[in-house]
């Protein structure tokens, strides 16, 4: 059993892949928080709390949900929009919810415009520029999501959540697996339910 925990950074000049430190992915019906396997129900609560506590709670939708390439993707995109609107409604005026797409994975030089997009080759630029302190990846291909999550953990203090349609991500501080539109809606419902019970403290951010 590994003692390693996947925590907000900045962790290291080159942080290790969490898998190489012994962190294992959850099985169906489970999630992980900081690398510890938990029932999925627990993860909804924690994800909702992280969004409600954050100064700039942000969703990063990727190519798999940005284009309506099948019915499921379109449904998921609608759910993500709903989640974003829910976060906006539930946070205080001092907090700023954001929805910033990762439209593709092309390296862009000299650099991307961090106000309008995030890129897996230098995701830290968008995090730093917008002072994002909690984010969720959804609809990003797994390999690219892991690259981003590792770089974010290495160089920023942002809390990362992965809403993964496949097996999940150890490099996020929290990961769901087998994501569906229904799971995203359930997260929105949880945020609504916890509204008011989680205090935003700007001094802690």
Partner 1 sequence: MAENKSVIGTKNKKGQTYTDTWQLMNEAPRTPSFYTGSEVIKEALRRASCDVMIAYPITPQSEAAALIGELFAEGYIGDYFRGESEFAVMSQCAGAAFGGARVFTTTAGPGTMRAMENFPMWAGARLPIQMIVTCRGINSPLSIQPDTLEIAYLLNTGMLVWHAETAQDFFDWILKGYMVSEEPDVHLPLALCCDGFFVTHTKDVVNLTPADMCLPPYDPYRSPVPCMDMECPPVRMMRDPFIMKSNYISYATHASWQQEVWAAVERSRKHTIKWLNGLIETENADADVLIVASGTAVSQGREAIRLLEDEGMRVGLVKVKALRPWPGEEIREATKNAKHIFVPEFNVTGWLAKEIKASIPNSERVHAGPRVCGGMTMPPEIIVQEIKTALGMKSMSLAGRGS
Q: Are 44 and 52 in contact (CB under 8 A)?
A: no
The H or E element spanning position 148 is helix 142-155
Nearest distance, CB of residue 181 and partner 1, angstroms: 15
Q: Is 18 in the site for partner 1 (CB under 8 A)?
A: yes
Using CB under 8 A, which of the segments 31-39, 88-96, 146-154, 197-205 binds partner 1?
Answer: 146-154
Q: Is 29 in the site for partner 1 (CB under 8 A)?
A: no
Query: Mask 58-97, x = binds partner 1 (CB under 8 A)?
Result: -----x------x-x-------------------------
Q: Are 103 and 128 in contact (CB under 8 A)?
A: no
The order of strands in the sheet holding 134-138 is 36-39, 30-33, 174-176, 159-163, 134-138, 57-61, 98-99
| Of residues 118 and 151, the one with the C-beta less far from partner 1 | 151
Q: Is 30 in the site for partner 1 (CB under 8 A)?
A: no
Cα three-residue angle 29-33-38, rounded to 5 degrees: 35
What gap in Å lies between CA 176 and CA 116, rounded to an integer?
26
Q: Is 3 in the site for partner 1 (CB under 8 A)?
A: no
Q: How do beta strands 30-33 and 36-39 pair?
A: antiparallel
| Of residues 8 and 63, the one with the C-beta less far from partner 1 | 63
Q: Considering only residues 4, 10, 11, 19, which one is a binding residue for partner 1 as defined by CB under 8 A?
A: 19
| Of residues 25 and 91, the one with the C-beta less far from partner 1 | 25
- Distance between the two ends of the chain, CA-based, in angstroms? 32
Total residues contacting partner 1 by CB under 8 A comes to 34
User: Per residue in 115-138, is it b (16+ CB within 10 Å) or e — as a string?
Assistant: eebbbbbbbbbbbeebebbbbbbb
Q: Considering only residues 12, 108, 192, 193, which one is a binding residue for partner 1 as defined by CB under 8 A?
A: 108
Nearest distance, CB of residue 26 and partner 1, angstroms: 11
Which positions touch partner 1 (CB under 8 A)? 14, 16-20, 24-25, 63, 70, 72, 104-109, 120-122, 141-144, 146-147, 150-151, 154, 166-168, 170-171
């Amino acid at each position: 059993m590994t003692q390693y925990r996947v925590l907000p950074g900045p962790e290291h000049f080159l942080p290790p892949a969490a898998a190489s430190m012994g962190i294992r992915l959850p099985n169906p019906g489970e999630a992980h928080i900081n690398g510890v396997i938990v029932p999925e129900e627990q993860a909804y609560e924690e994800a909702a709390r992280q969004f409600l506590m954050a100064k700039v709670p942000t969703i990063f939708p990727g190519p798999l949900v940005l284009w309506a390439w099948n019915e499921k993707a379109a449904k998921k995109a609608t759910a993500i929009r709903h989640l974003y609107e829910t976060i906006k409604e539930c946070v205080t005026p001092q907090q700023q919810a954001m929805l910033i797409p990762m439209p593709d994975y092309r390296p862009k030089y000299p650099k991307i415009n961090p106000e309008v997009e995030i890129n897996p080759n230098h995701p830290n630029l968008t995090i730093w520029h917008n002072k994002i302190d909690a984010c969720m990846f959804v609809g990003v291909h797994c390999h690219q999501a892991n690259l981003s999550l590792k770089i974010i953990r290495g160089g920023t203090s942002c809390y990362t959540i992965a809403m993964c349609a496949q097996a999940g991500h150890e490099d996020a501080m929290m990961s769901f697996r087998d994501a569906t539109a229904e799971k995203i809606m359930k997260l929105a419902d949880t945020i609504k339910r916890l509204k008011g019970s989680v205090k935003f403290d700007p001094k802690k951010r």
